[in-house]
Amino acid sequence: MYAVIETGGKQYRVKEGDVLEIEKLAVEAGETVSIDKVLMVGAGEEVSFGTPYVEGAAVELEVQDQFRGKKVVAFKYKRRKQYSRTVGHRQSLTRVVVKSIKSA
């Protein structure tokens, strides 16, 4: 069984046992969180789509840890104008494990 969930403005195709790195959730490590924004649930030949979400479907996630991703560097430069600007960004992320998928 697999599902497509939405969290942090992104969509992920998940199945039980998958490890994901998603945008930071305000949950401590070791706790579980339920995502009810399920766009699609599939099991073999049977597939159900939501409009926009599947009624009664949920995905249980267990939080492993909170961490920060790799640094992304944005560099702006204008030739002959002696202008350059460097900005760095590190995104806060949460590593989760998919425990179960509940369909409607």
Phi, psi at 69, each rounded to 5°: -75, -175
pTM as predicted: 0.85
- Kindly report, residue by residue over 22-81, the tens digit of the pLDDT: 999 999 999 999 999 999 999 989 999 999 999 999 999 999 999 999 999 999 999 999
Q: Where are the domains of the chain?
A: 2-102
Closest C-alpha to 5, from 51, 57, 44, 45: 57
pLDDT at 104 over 80: no
